[in-house]
Amino acid sequence: KNEVEQSPQNLTAQEGEFITINCSYSVGISALHWLQQHPGGGIVSLFMLSSGKKKHGRLIATINIQEKHSSLHITASHPRDSAVYICAARYNTDKLIFGTGTRLQVFP
Amino acid sequence: EPEVTQTPSHQVTQMGQEVILRCVPISNHLYFYWYRQILGQKVEFLVSFYNNEISEKSEIFDDQFSVERPDGSNFTLKIRSTKLEDSAMYFCASSGDGTAVGPQHFGDGTRLSIL
């Protein structure tokens, strides 16, 4: 069954800390998405990747196809990074299969 | 930057009533989706739409649900006779500018409350 597992479920950090959120998936994905969901509910797409690594500002996403694992890193975390971070996989169709999300709180 | 817009932001409806959720996808996108998120749960796929027809639908998307792209800009989700369990946040998304499916861009969602 095509599933997406995320860890941890909840994460608290002090401002400035390096954050890592993990995602594992089943074999055969065509792309892995990282998304951010704000407290109001809106979803923002952060990255789509199928291999290697992508960077945008303080956010870095990596994927290891052999290990079926992806990570989202946040460097120099800030309270405004507080949100739910979700990984979602695209398998052999266009639909996304979502993980349960990681709730991140960064304290000043 | 172009964005997906959804209206209304919050809809309150009596059980058994019909409801239509509206979305305006990004203008040059070709693939359209509806997802829902029940409070406290993960986001679930409902339906995808391409070339004026449903390309895939989930088990949730039963005969009470329908989608339409009536005028080339709007993309609507209709629930014919709402149930209490339809209460959720509904997200519209679009992708694909013709060169690739690409990342999905989401609207801010419509919070549907069934009384």
Residue B99 clears pLDDT 80, i.e. is over it: no
- Please give the C-alpha separations between residue A4 and each of A23, A57, B25, in angstroms, as whole numbers: 7, 26, 26
Query: What local confidence, expressed as pLDDT, does residue A92 receive?
Result: 80
**CB B45 to CB A43 under 8 A?**
no
Output A85 or B96, whichever has higher pLDDT. Answer: A85
Cβ-based burial of B27 (10 A; exposed 0-12, middle 13-18, buried ≥19): exposed
Min Cα distance A31 → chain B (Å) is 9
**CB A42 to CB B109 under 8 A?**
yes
Nearest-CA residue of chain A relative to B106? A43
- Contact of B105 with chain A, judged by CB distance below 8 Å, is answered with yes
Spatial CB neighbours of B45, under 8 Å, sequence gap ≥ 6:
A95, A96, A97, B33, B35, B56, B58
Nearest CB neighbour to A95, from listed B37, B56, B89: B56
* Tens of pLDDT, residues B19-28: 999 999 998 8
Give me the mean pLDDT over the A69-75 stretch.
97
Query: What local confidence, expressed as pLDDT, does residue A46 receive?
Result: 95
Task: For residue A41, give the nearest of B110, B47, B51, B75 by alpha carbon.
Answer: B110
Residue B105 clears pLDDT 70, i.e. is over it: yes
Query: What local confidence, expressed as pLDDT, does residue B72 receive?
Result: 79
Total residues belonging to chain B: 115
Query: What local confidence, expressed as pLDDT, does residue A17 receive?
Result: 97
User: d(Cα B41, Cα B36) in Å, to the nearest integer?
Assistant: 10
* Most distant CA atoms of chain B, gap in Å: 44
Min Cα distance B97 → chain A (Å) is 14
Query: What local confidence, expressed as pLDDT, does residue A1 receive?
Result: 66
Residue A41 clears pLDDT 90, i.e. is over it: no
Query: What local confidence, expressed as pLDDT, does residue B21 receive?
Result: 97
Min Cα distance B82 → chain A (Å) is 22
**CB A86 to CB B43 under 8 A?**
yes
* Most distant CA atoms of chain A, gap in Å: 42
CB pairs under 8 A between A and B: 58
User: d(Cα A62, Cα A72) in Å, to the nearest integer?
Assistant: 7
- Residues of chain B with C-beta less than 8 angstroms from the C-beta of A41: 37, 89, 108-109, 111
Query: What local confidence, expressed as pLDDT, does residue A23 receive?
Result: 97
Report the C-alpha dihedral over residues A78, A32, A7, A57, rounded to 10 degrees: -10
Mean pLDDT of chain A, nearest integer: 94
Residue A91 clears pLDDT 90, i.e. is over it: no
Residue B80 clears pLDDT 90, i.e. is over it: yes
Percent of chain B at pLDDT > 90 equals: 83
In the structure encoding, which two tokens stand for residue B7, read together?
């209206």
* Tens of pLDDT, residues B35-77: 999 999 999 999 999 989 999 999 999 999 999 998 878 999 9
Query: What local confidence, expressed as pLDDT, does residue A21 receive?
Result: 98
Min Cα distance B105 → chain A (Å) is 6
Query: What local confidence, expressed as pLDDT, does residue B25 receive?
Result: 95
**CB A95 to CB B106 under 8 A?**
no
